[in-house]
């Protein structure tokens, strides 16, 4: 007789989704989370607080584009609002947790002893299944310990409540690019250190982002960073070419690493990740690992889906009935402009042997974007020529984060241009342009 049917380690998107779904399926669940609150890094120091800052900076962007608007944003009050949003969502999660009578929550860290036992402080619990959803932490390279990460910048009650006059950002990935866009618009003098800007995207997109960041006053230094030192109460950044400036604050945005320090008996990958199947199983048959801890895609919405898949497969008698389709994952970067994509880029599809065509719509021609003053960017669809199946899509511009959802559905469900062409979309929205592109009978030449 075991203490629980399932023990879930981690209260982020993967963890609480797994726990709640398993509870609905009639299983007795123990859920642990050392933060003491649900929501994971997304709510504590990631998606929610960063997008709250983005929302504030976006008003300033609008006021520059539309002459009839005059907007001021108080950074300290924006931080207060960020704290309120976080607290409100923590409360929502706590209220939801109380609705599950067969979920026991312990606000502590769990240690996996073996495939059937988890230790929490001085007590060991037995279980039939273990779900490791311990997430990831910001990675700080040696020599950069003097900087801050998104943890210090975005956590509830953060001490960073005044806008840094001069801000260094180390790393040109999506966190670095987003924070550079946000803080430059809020008024910081930003220097972004990164050999490449958003390397997952095409050169065309990278060039556009670089141009836009420059227009916001961001200096981009394409040199390898060597370290960070505290000098004269300032933070000096050094590259392989020497000292490159003194800053009030330095944000280290060099990626994340899986939290696996207290996981025993499971082999780990090169970056400490737990390797899983697409059904979220580890090398141990009754142990699953959804979310950032598996190192596949460190995105909250992916973690939630992986958590749901984990629960379904456990409820199906430990059979991998449901699997992740990583090709249909939507990516959204809240840069200026926004960048979103799903499925294959044109170059990827060609490399895989597909005969493809692309169709593009310039958002300068879209009514909604003209109304709002954000009319740069484009929508591009990658299509298999014969079958007309939608293989991938990219959206560069306003509301890219919303538009990419429908396109991810199209990719995931293997829809064709005809399937989307026969839809009626709300007017005036850029969604109309998706159907317009699908109704085109011939290829549109793109730059």
Are the beta carbons of 420 and 334 closer than 8 angstroms? Answer: no
Residue 109 domain flag: yes
* Final residue of a structural domain among 199, 233, 252: 252
Asked whether residue 246 is domain-assigned, the answer is yes
Summarize pLDDT for 144-159 with one digit per residue, the tens: 999 999 999 999 999 9
Count Cα atoms within 13 angstroms, Cβ side, for 152. Answer: 13
Task: Confirm whether 446 is domain-assigned.
Answer: no
Are 15 and 125 within one domain?
yes
pLDDT at 441: 61
Chain-centre distance for alpha carbon 95: 25
- Paired strand residues for 384: 356
Tokens encoding 381: 């669809």
Q: Decide: 277 and 259 in contact? Cβ < 8 Å.
A: no
Low-confidence stretches of the chain (pLDDT beneath 70): 441-447
CATH code of the domain covering residue 384: 3.30.390.30
Distance between CA atoms of 127 and 266, rounded to whole angstroms? 17
What pLDDT score was predicted for residue 447? 43
User: Exposed, middle or buried, 56 (CB in 10 Å: 0-12/13-18/19+)?
Assistant: buried
Q: What is the predicted pLDDT for the residue at 266?
A: 93
Give the domain CATH number at 210: 3.50.50.60
Q: What is the pLDDT of residue 229?
A: 95
Q: How far apart are CA 129 and CA 307, in angstroms?
A: 14
Task: Determine which helix (DSSP H) or strand (DSSP E) holds 60, and give its type and residue range.
Answer: helix 47-65
The answer to the question of residue 445 being in a domain is no
Residue 104: DSSP 8-state: E
Does residue 42 lie within any of the structural domains? Answer: yes
Does residue 303 share a domain with residue 164? no
Determine the Cα–Cα distance for residues 236 and 353; give it in Å rounded to an integer: 48
Are residue 64 and residue 106 in the same domain, yes or no?
yes
Q: Residue 144 falls within a domain, yes or no?
A: no
Identify the DSSP state of 336.
S
Q: What is the rounded CA–CA span in Å between residue 391 and residue 261?
A: 39
Indicate the burial class of 115 (C-beta count within 10 angstroms; 0-12, 13-18, 19 or more). middle
Mark whether 266 and 347 lie in a shared domain: no
Beta pairing, strands 166-170 & 136-138: unpaired
Q: Which of 19, 277, 261 is nearest to 130 (CA)?
A: 19
Q: Considering the entire predicted model, what is its pTM?
A: 0.95
Q: Are 54 and 178 in contact (CB under 8 A)?
A: yes
* Residue 430 in domain: yes
**Taking the CB of residue 243, how many other CB atoms lie within 10 A of it?**
12
Q: End of a domain among 218, 252, 286?
A: 252
Domain boundary among 220, 252, 284: 252
Query: What is the distance between the alpha carbons of residues 432 and 430, in angstroms, rounded to a whole number?
Result: 5
Which token pair is 207? 């060039």
Residues 9 and 122 in one domain: yes
CA distance 188 to 332: 24
Domain that holds residue 231: 150-252
Contacts of 232 (CB under 8 A, 6+ apart): 246
Q: Within this chain, do residues 118 and 232 fall inside the same structural domain, yes or no?
A: no
pLDDT number for residue 444: 44
Neighbours of 342 (CB within 10 A): 26
Instruction: Identify the DSSP state of 217.
Output: T
């Amino acid at each position: 007789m075991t203490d629980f049917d399932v023990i879930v380690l981690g209260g982020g998107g993967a963890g609480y989704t797994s726990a709640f779904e398993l509870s609905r399926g009639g299983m007795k669940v123990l859920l642990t989370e050392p933060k003491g609150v649900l929501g994971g890094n997304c709510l504590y120091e990631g998606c929610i607080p960063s997008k709250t800052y983005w929302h504030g900076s976006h008003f300033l962007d609008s006021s520059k584009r539309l002459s009839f608007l005059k907007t001021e944003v108080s950074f300290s009050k924006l931080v207060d609002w960020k704290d309120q949003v976080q607290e409100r969502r923590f409360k929502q999660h706590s209220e939801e947790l109380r609705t599950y009578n067969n979920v026991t929550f312990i606000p502590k860290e769990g240690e996996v002893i073996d495939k059937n036992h988890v230790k929490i402080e001085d007590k060991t619990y037995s279980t039939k299944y273990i779900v490791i959803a311990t997430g990831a932490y910001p990675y700080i390279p040696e020599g950069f310990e003097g900087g801050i990460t998104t943890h210090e910048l975005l956590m509830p009650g953060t001490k960073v409540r005044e806008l840094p006059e001069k801000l260094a950002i180390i790393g040109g990935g999506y966190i670095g690019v987003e924070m550079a866009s946000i803080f430059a618009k809020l008024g910081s003098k930003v220097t972004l250190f990164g050999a490449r800007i958003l390397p997952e995207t095409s050169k065309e997109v990278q060039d556009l982002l670089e141009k836009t960041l420059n227009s916001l006053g961001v200096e981009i230094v394409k040199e390898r960073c060597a370290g960070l030192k505290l000098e004269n109460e300032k933070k000096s950044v050094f590259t392989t070419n020497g000292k490159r400036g003194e800053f009030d604050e330095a944000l280290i945005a060099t990626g994340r690493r899986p939290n696996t320090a207290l996981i025993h008996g499971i082999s780990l990958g090169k970056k400490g990740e737990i390797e899983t199947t697409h059904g979220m199983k580890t090398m141990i048959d009754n142990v699953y690992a959804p979310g950032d801890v598996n190192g596949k895609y460190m995105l909250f919405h992916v973690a939630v889906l992986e958590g749901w898949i984990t629960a379904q497969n456990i409820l199906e008698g430990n059979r991998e009935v449901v699997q992740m389709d990583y090709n249909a994952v939507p990516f959204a970067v809240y840069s200026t402009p926004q960048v979103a994509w799903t499925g294959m880029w044109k170059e990827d599809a060609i490399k895989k042997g597909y005969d493809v065509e692309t169709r593009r719509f310039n958002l300068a021609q879209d009514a909604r974007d003209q109304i709002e003053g954000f009319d740069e960017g484009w929508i591009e669809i990658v299509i298999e020529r014969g079958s007309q199946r939608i293989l991938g899509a990219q959206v560069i511009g306003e509301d890219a984060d919303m538009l990419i959802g429908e396109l991810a559905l199209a990719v995931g469900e293997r829809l064709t241009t005809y399937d989307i062409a026969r839809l009626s979309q709300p007017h005036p929205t850029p969604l109309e342009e998706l159907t317009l592109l699908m109704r085109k009978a011939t290829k549109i030449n793109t730059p």
